[in-house]
Each structure stands twice: as C-alpha cells, then as structure tokens.
C-alpha cells in the first residue's frame, strides 16, 4: 500500500495567524476569550481551553457577561459583523482582530459597494459565521446564494447594480457554475471571485490525488465548511472516500484493499492530527 498526502493540506495562512494570535495573548497572563471557536476544529479549541481560553458562543452569551477588567477577546478567523465589535467594546473587552485578511478584503469590498448603492450577492452558506460576518458589514440589500438552485431561482432587477462575492472556502467549480447562470440572466452583476488562493489550491490538489487513489481520507471537523467541500470533491472522483475527524474513527478496515490511499485535510486541521492518521494507516498496513 502507498500512502500519499495531498500537496496542499491542513492549516491555511488565516488559521495559523488566528491560532498564533491566541497563543501570543495567552502569554500575557490576562483573561483570554475568543468570540466563537477560533477555528472550526474541536481539538484545537480543546487545547486552548486547557490553557484557560474561554469561548463566547454568540450574542446571547455576550449579553449576559461581565468580563474581567483586563480581559482580551480575539475575533476568530471568520470575522464578525460590525455590531459585534461594538457590543464587545461596550462590554469593556480589549478587542484583538484575528479575522483572516482575505475575509477582511471581502468586508472592504461589500462596504464600499453597498455605500454607492450596489446590492450585494454572496455565494456561500447563509448560516456560516464568515457569511454572517460579511452581511454584517453594511445595512443595504443582501442576498445569499448557497447553491446552483438559488442562482437559477434568483430574480433581480435590470436597473439595479449588483456586486457578487464568495465565501472564501466555497467550492471553486460551483462558484463558476453560479456565475455562468447569473451571466445568462443578463443582470448588471460585477463579479469578484473572493475564494482564497489557498482554498483553490487545496481543492485542486485533493481532486488530482482523488483521481489517482483507490481510497481517500479527508481529515477535519464536521463543522468545517472547507473540509466538507473537500469531501464532496474527493467523493466525486473516488467512491471510497471517508471523512475522518479523529485518529480513532473507524476508517482503517474500509481501506484495507487499497493500493494507493490518498489523504487530504481541511484548513482548520492541525498538523499533529494529520500525522496521527498517517501513522495509524502505516502501523496497520506495514
């Protein structure tokens, strides 16, 4: 059996930056909070909790809090609405913004375009914190298109100007399909492809490997949007694709007959977890 790791897998720049920011602030000795889990990976969050980092789960939890006078809250990589910044500062937190720079770029685009009258279209999951954060940057019209069906059913107005952006972790091929559908409708849509390069490279590398592999292992949290998309891509190319959240998940027996096992991992998956899964496969078959 050959075990091959995709060329691009695991922590992306934005996640490394956000997690690194938390560890840097832990060293101050001050009370540390994150607004929402810093990334969508339970193991990373658990390790931070062991070091005293607390998670504010949302607006309701925040409203009930009385933070310590010197408390720090770190904005997660996904970003948050403007209103959340205001509420955190009102509570007396020192706010440290670890929003991914690629997400901040989207915030800037939608704020500027909304200010000049454009309606905003966001391609992504309406319940994902990144999309919620993007919507919360302005007060104008905003429509979220979560899939091809939403794009087909979208009815706009010829006299309106639209700016279309994407959740950074959206599947590249599906984004292009949605854009093609909107172009056929001949609305005045300015398209800005805001899928981050790291996401596209990770998806391409996973697809290449899945086309060659007899079995694919996709490592990451069930709550991770980009990991779910990696799974979809791999499953389309390799029927024997398995989602693994921990090294103890029951996947080893399912790949026993494979000659080539491919492994990829979502952007919130720590290197240690990837290595543990690789080592489990090696110990079982070598």
- Sequence-distant (6+) residues with CB within 8 A of 233 are 171, 203, 206, 207, 210
- Residues 123 and 189: beta-carbon distance below 8 Å: no
Which of the residues are catalytic? Answer: 130
- Residues 15 and 39: beta-carbon distance below 8 Å: yes
Do you know the residue count of the chain? 286
Residue whose C-alpha is closest to residue 216's, from 249, 257, 261: 261
Q: Measure the CA angle with vertex 154, ends 81 and 172; round to 5°.
A: 65
- Residues 277 and 217: beta-carbon distance below 8 Å: yes
Q: In what order do the strands lie in the sheet with 241-244?
A: 2-5, 260-265, 215-219, 241-244
Residue 98, helix vs strand vs coil: coil
The secondary element (H helix, E strand) that includes residue 264 is strand 260-265
Phi, psi of 76, rounded to the nearest 5 degrees: -70, 170
Residue 273, helix vs strand vs coil: helix
Indicate if the alpha-carbon torsion angle 143, 149, 153, 154 is positive or negative. Answer: positive
């Amino acid at each position: 059996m050959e075990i091959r790791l995709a060329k691009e897998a695991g922590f992306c720049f934005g996640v490394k930056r956000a997690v690194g920011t938390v560890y840097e602030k832990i060293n101050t000795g001050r009370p540390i909070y994150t607004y929402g889990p810093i990334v969508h990976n339970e193991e990373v969050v658990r390790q931070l909790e062991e070091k005293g980092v607390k998670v504010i789960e949302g607006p309701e939890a925040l409203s009930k809090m009385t933070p310590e006078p010197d408390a720090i809250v770190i904005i997660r990589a996904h970003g948050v609405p403007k209103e959340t910044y205001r509420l955190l500062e009102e509570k007396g937190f020192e706010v440290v913004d670890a929003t991914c720079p690629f997400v901040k770029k989207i915030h800037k685009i939608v704020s500027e375009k909304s200010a000049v009258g454009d309606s905003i279209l966001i391609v992504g999951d309406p319940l994902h914190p990144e999309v919620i954060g993007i919507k919360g940057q302005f007060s104008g019209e905003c429509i979220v298109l979560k899939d091809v069906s939403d794009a087909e059913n979208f009815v706009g107005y010829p006299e309106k100007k639209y700016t279309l952006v994407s959740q950074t972790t959206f599947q590249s091929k599906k984004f292009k399909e949605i854009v093609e559908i909107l172009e056929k409708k001949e609305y005045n849509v300015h398209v800005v492809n805001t899928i981050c390069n790291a996401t596209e490279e990770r998806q391409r590398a996973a697809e290449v490997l899945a086309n060659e592999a007899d079995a694919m292992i996709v490592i990451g949290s069930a709550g991770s949007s980009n990991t779910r998309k990696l799974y979809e891509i791999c499953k389309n190319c390799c029927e024997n694709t398995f989602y693994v959240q921990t090294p103890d998940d029951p996947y080893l027996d399912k790949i026993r007959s494979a000659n080539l096992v491919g492994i990829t991992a979502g952007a919130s998956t720590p290197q240690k977890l990837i290595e543990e899964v690789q080592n489990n496969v090696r110990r079982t078959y070598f």
